[in-house]
């Protein structure tokens, strides 16, 4: 490795580790988001063709409130069906029937997902900035080729993450 300094290797390792941390943050945020959404509807199945939910005991939850301005829809099962169900204690404590609230991209879960996305982008931009500065400091051709390759990879990832973030923000409905 003639012509490549220890400082270059350490800086490249640090920049790549920031990239891995951003990737790990994306994976953990995606997993937490899926678990959060799944926990409130565990065992229930949504039927988009009929716009209803069905519970594990095959009772249907029908839409009772739909507010597109706030991006929320509330579904409820008939109270008589829930109150006579053997699984009521495990499902709901309401005497009015089990409810499921379906939210669009303005919910807390989506806000956290956007926050983690911005953190990932910030880490990748910081790593890219370090690579860009090192590109002008480094004199070795081989080192510059490595820097350009990693920098291009990070820029493509940042561009993709920013595009997804812009799409989320475009789908937001005003409160």
What pLDDT is attached to residue 107? Answer: 58
Residue 56: pLDDT over 80? yes
Q: List pLDDT tens digits, range 122-135.
A: 999 999 999 999 99
Q: List pLDDT tens digits, range 73-93.
A: 889 989 888 888 888 888 888
- Binned at pLDDT 50, 70 and 90, residue 65 comes out as confident
Q: CA–CA separation, 103 vs 72, rounded Å?
A: 5
Residue 175: pLDDT over 50? no
What pLDDT is attached to residue 105? Answer: 53
What pLDDT is attached to residue 68? Answer: 73
Whether the CA torsion 161, 163, 164, 168 is positive or negative: it is positive
Q: What are phi and psi of 39, to 5 degrees?
A: -65, -35
63 token code pair: 């839409």
Q: Return the SS3 of 74.
A: strand
- Give the residue-averaged pLDDT of 139-165: 92
- Give the residue-averaged pLDDT of 110-129: 89
Q: CA–CA separation, 41 vs 149, rounded Å?
A: 44
């Amino acid at each position: 490795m003639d012509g490549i300094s220890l400082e270059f290797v350490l800086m490249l390792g640090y920049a790549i580790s920031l990239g891995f941390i951003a990737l790990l943050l994306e994976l953990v945020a995606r997993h937490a988001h899926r678990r959060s959404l799944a926990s409130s509807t565990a065992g229930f199945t949504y039927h988009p063709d009929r716009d209803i939910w069905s519970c594990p005991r095959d009772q249907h939850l029908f839409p009772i409130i739909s507010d597109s301005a706030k991006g929320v829809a509330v579904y409820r099962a008939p109270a008589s069906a829930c109150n006579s169900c053997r699984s009521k204690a495990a499902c709901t404590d309401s005497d009015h029937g089990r409810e499921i609230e379906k939210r669009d991209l303005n919910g807390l879960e989506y806000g956290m997902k956007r926050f983690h996305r911005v953190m990932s982008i910030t880490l990748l931009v910081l790593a890219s900035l370090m690579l860009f500065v090192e590109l002008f400091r480094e004199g070795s051709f081989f080192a510059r080729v490595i820097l350009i390759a990693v920098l291009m990879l990070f820029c493509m990832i940042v561009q993709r993450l920013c595009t997804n973030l812009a799409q989320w923000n475009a789908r937001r409905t005003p409160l």
